[in-house]
């Protein structure tokens, strides 16, 4: 096949392998993503006497309370989450089990093409960088991963915004369309890229760290195994370890991204147009001032619980898909 890369499979086959991995990963990991978004999007209690803007966990209905002291009972809403397990229990109890998969169609619409673009771009960029000797083999995965992710984030950012609104606000798809039109009317088309900065700050370093560590761990584990042993198990372990490390280091930017995107829904609900959008660094300082350092790591447990298995499932499924297509192409060449 003329368009095959050095790995023996074509870009289209790369996309199919990565798309299959994205579907499998999304089905298993969406509940943890929903819990993470809910934990990150809720704000700490506000002092008495200040105006409260609070939603019952799903921004439906929206309550405006002009006096905090008169709303003490209301503010202790049963769907105020205190932790990961508490969020799981209360979401299922008050909203139903299906809510844990809210936004799954949007997730699939976003994740499948994003993952296909991302993984294909990564492999092509890494092969290009190594083939042209533009950078050492050690750092090629880091550079290729960062560049591939930057391009993917830019293309997929509007879909990421919609997915976050579906999970955090529990709106229907019809209401989502109205929200998008309202956002464009208020802030122009640029509003669809709200959260691009913190998303890039989260995903680009994550990708660079992930691929750098993944290739190192995979190489080390491969040296401990027989040459003829399948690499799927090694990829699973290496992906889980690398994903966990990268997720911990980039979590504060994930919190900022979630809060900025969910804030758009709150502004739409009260028909308030922001005069300006706070910078990522200003938001980090504000979150730390309101909630302490712990606030920067809100959703830590579900993100880590999600990162390890999702990275492990994704990369091992992808490697399995690549191996399948490599065998298929070899058989075709041999006329079997």
Sign of CA dihedral 118, 123, 126, 131: negative
Torsion of CA 120, 124, 125, 127, to 10 degrees: 140
In angstroms, the CA 254 to CA 37 distance is 9
Is residue 89 one of the residues assigned to a domain?
no
Domain that holds residue 123: 11-32+104-329
pTM of the model: 0.67
The one-digit pLDDT tens for each residue of the chain (336 residues) are 445 554 577 888 888 888 888 888 888 888 887 887 787 777 554 333 333 232 322 222 233 333 444 433 333 344 678 778 888 888 888 888 888 887 787 678 778 888 888 999 999 999 899 888 788 888 999 999 999 999 888 887 777 666 666 656 666 666 667 767 776 777 677 777 776 776 787 789 999 999 999 999 998 888 766 554 557 889 999 999 999 999 888 888 878 777 766 665 555 555 555 545 567 778 888 888 887 877 787 778 877 887 888 899 999 999 898 888 888 888 888 876
Distance of CA 250 to the CA centre of its chain: 11
Nearest-Å Rg of the Cα atoms of the chain is 22
Tell me the CATH number at 305: 1.50.40.10
In angstroms, the CA 37 to CA 318 distance is 26
Is residue 79 one of the residues assigned to a domain?
no
**Domains in the chain, number:** 1
Residue listed under structure tokens 């019952």? 56
Is residue 229 one of the residues assigned to a domain?
yes
Is residue 205 one of the residues assigned to a domain?
yes
Is residue 76 one of the residues assigned to a domain?
no
Among residues 37, 194, 24, the alpha carbon closest in space to that of 112 is found at 24
In angstroms, the CA 64 to CA 54 distance is 7
Is residue 288 one of the residues assigned to a domain?
yes
Distance of CA 14 to the CA centre of its chain: 21
Is residue 50 one of the residues assigned to a domain?
no
Is residue 284 one of the residues assigned to a domain?
yes
User: Hey, what are 32's tokens?
Assistant: 């943890």
Sign of CA dihedral 59, 62, 68, 71: negative
User: Hey, what are 268's tokens?
Assistant: 């739409």
């Amino acid at each position: 096949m003329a368009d095959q890369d050095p790995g023996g499979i074509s870009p289209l086959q790369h996309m199919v392998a990565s798309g299959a991995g994205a579907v499998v990963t999304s089905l298993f990991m969406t509940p943890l993503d929903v819990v993470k978004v809910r934990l990150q999007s809720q704000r700490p209690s506000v002092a008495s006497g200040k105006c409260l803007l609070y939603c019952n966990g799903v921004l439906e209905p929206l309550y405006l309370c002009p006096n905090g002291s008169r709303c003490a009972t209301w503010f202790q809403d049963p769907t105020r989450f205190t932790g990961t397990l508490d969020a799981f229990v209360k979401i299922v109890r008050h909203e139903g089990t299906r809510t844990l998969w809210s936004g799954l169609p949007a997730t699939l619409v976003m994740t499948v093409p994003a993952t296909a673009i991302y993984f294909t771009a990564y492999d092509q960029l890494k092969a290009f960088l190594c083939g042209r000797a533009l950078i050492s083999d050690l750092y090629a995965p880091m550079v290729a991963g960062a560049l591939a992710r930057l391009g993917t984030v830019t293309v997929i950012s509007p879909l990421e915004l919609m997915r976050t609104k579906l999970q955090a606000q529990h709106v229907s798809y019809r209401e989502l369309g109205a929200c998008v039109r309202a956002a464009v009317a208020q802030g122009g088309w640029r509003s669809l890229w709200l959260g691009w900065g913190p998303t890039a700050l989260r995903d680009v370093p994550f990708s660079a760290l992930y691929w750098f560590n993944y290739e190192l761990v995979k190489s080390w584990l491969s040296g401990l195994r027989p040459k003829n042993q399948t690499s799927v198990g090694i990829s699973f372990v290496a992906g889980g370890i690398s994903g966990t490390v990268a997720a911990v280091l980039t979590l504060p930017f994930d919190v900022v991204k979630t809060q900025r995107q969910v804030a758009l829904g709150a502004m739409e609900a009260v028909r308030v147009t922001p005069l300006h959008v706070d910078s990522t660094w200003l938001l980090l300082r504000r979150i730390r001032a309101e909630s302490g350092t712990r606030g920067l790591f809100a959703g830590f447990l579900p993100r880590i619980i999600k990162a390890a298995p999702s990275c492990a499932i994704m990369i091992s499924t992808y490697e399995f898909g690549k191996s399948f297509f490599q065998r298929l192409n070899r058989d075709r060449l041999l006329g079997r």
